[in-house]
Amino acid sequence: MTQAKTLNPTAATFKALKCKECGAEYELAASHVCEACFGPLEVTYDYNTLRRSVTRETIQSGPNSIWRYRSFLPVATENVIDVGTGMTPLVQANRLARRLGLKKLYIKNDAVNMPTLSFKDRVVSVALSRARELGFSTVSCASTGNLANSTAAIAAHAGLDCCVFIPSDLEAGKVLGTLIYSPTVMAVQGNYDQVNRLCCEVANTYGWGFVNINLRPYYSEGSKTLGYEVAEQLGWQLPDHIVAPLASGSLFTKIYKGFQEFIQVGLVEDKSVRFSGAQAEGCSPIAQAYKEGREFVKPVKPNTIAKSIAIGNPADGIYALEIARKTNGSIASVTDAEIIEGIKLLAETEGIFTETAGGTTIAVLKKLVEAGKIDPDETTVAYITGNGLKTQEAVQGYIGEPLTIEAKLDSFERALERSRTLERLDWQQVLV
């Protein structure tokens, strides 16, 4: 059993844990819940110090990873775990933009984030760096797959013991992509919310660092880098509109926090950015609350192919709801069939193979444009958070097949002619 202890950083710019609900402050320990009202705890910073000490130049001269924004992240020491996470491409998506009827669309492509091909590497790099500072030697998580991959990989790199909990029905690629790092994997017979609940009870009794439970205030800050990078990659400007997937809602709220912090310390000009969220219809508690004008999020039981975002009881749901409303954004949901179409559309127009969460984001992007909720002139950024090679089951049967031929020129030519005929028939069907 490992013991958590508190550090009192002197040079660090982060100051305390503060309850988002009632404002109570706590020391910088491994703790995520307000003792008074059970609200979520969040890290606070000394923005005056940050404003004086951080410039665009100091950031640009830093490492080519999330750690160029170290002053905005809750770690006290120089000894961070840097496995090249972050600084993923911001791709100008002209072909997809034309297809949808937008003028300036970018894809923030975390499908190629390092080391495990999802945005989770950002939050885990921060969480495990902090876990080490707090004295943990075993780290853990409740995961829908991507987080397990990331926690296991980065724990292996850092030499930490690792035990991850996943729902037992995950995609094969996500299970294998965890097992390869040789952690202990608990495949729980139940959905993510049940896994999460079990982990809360385990976190109560074992002295482990659960990245998204007792380390959650530190962990979630890692997602702010998705905001910082987009601002920097747009030439130190904020976009007009962003679209991101909603699972717990944490990523969405932290992109917002990232933009706000850059405004506050003077790194970018103040500007209102519209925030729109994407959910799968089979697990859309936040989208339902948005649609019905409710102030609270009613938990649901997930039933969708978008397993990575299938959280029926989202911890930050109400905060995501608030942000979408106050920024004049939207929250929408799409069917599993639309999600598959979204995956294919992004692949065919931009050469980016995303997983189901990304398919959800693209399908919702399309839906919002068609509904007139995204102005064609807005500079829009869609966040692609995971890689399609991990959820191959989702598109199996919906894509083409290779043409098997003999190693002879005439066999090739016959097959080519056949495929062109099929293509023409396809077009005719579309026209009819």
Residues that bind other proteins (CB under 8 A): 21, 32-33, 35-40, 142, 192-194, 196-197, 199-201, 203-205, 210, 212-213, 216, 220, 247-251, 296, 298-299, 301, 311, 313-316, 318
Both tokens of 102, joined, read: 């937008």
Question: Would you say 136 or 353 has its CB closer to other proteins?
Answer: 136
Q: Report CA 247 to chain centroid distance, whole Å.
A: 9
DSSP state of 231: H
CA dist 280 and 306 (Å) reads: 7
Question: Would you say 32 or 390 has its CB closer to other proteins?
Answer: 32
Minimum distance of other proteins from residue 39's CB (angstroms)? 5
Question: Would you say 254 or 274 has its CB closer to other proteins?
Answer: 254
Sheet with 138-142: strands ordered across: 184-188, 161-167, 138-142, 209-210
Question: Would you say 38 or 398 has its CB closer to other proteins?
Answer: 38
Minimum distance of other proteins from residue 35's CB (angstroms)? 5
Question: Would you say 313 or 379 has its CB closer to other proteins?
Answer: 313
Whether the CB-CB separation of 182 and 160 falls below 8 Å is answered with no
Question: Would you say 59 or 251 has its CB closer to other proteins?
Answer: 251
User: Could you tell me which residues are beta bridge partners of residue 74?
Assistant: none
CA dist 247 and 193 (Å) reads: 11
CA dist 204 and 214 (Å) reads: 9
Minimum distance of other proteins from residue 382's CB (angstroms)? 20
Minimum distance of other proteins from residue 77's CB (angstroms)? 26
Whether the CB-CB separation of 340 and 353 falls below 8 Å is answered with no
Both tokens of 183, joined, read: 């952690």
Question: Would you say 210 or 353 has its CB closer to other proteins?
Answer: 210
Question: Would you say 37 or 112 has its CB closer to other proteins?
Answer: 37
Minimum distance of other proteins from residue 308's CB (angstroms)? 11
Q: Report CA 307 to chain centroid distance, whole Å.
A: 13
Residue with tokens 């987080």: 147
Phi, psi of 99 (to 5 degrees): -60, -35
Of 357, 32, 381, 49, the C-alpha closest to 221 is 32
Minimum distance of other proteins from residue 95's CB (angstroms)? 32
CA dist 325 and 344 (Å) reads: 30
DSSP state of 18: E
CA dist 147 and 149 (Å) reads: 5
Q: Give the CA dihedral 151, 156, 161, 162, nearest 10 degrees.
A: 30
DSSP state of 6: -
Phi, psi of 232 (to 5 degrees): -65, -45
Minimum distance of other proteins from residue 33's CB (angstroms)? 4
Minimum distance of other proteins from residue 142's CB (angstroms)? 5
Minimum distance of other proteins from residue 118's CB (angstroms)? 13
Question: Would you say 206 or 236 has its CB closer to other proteins?
Answer: 206
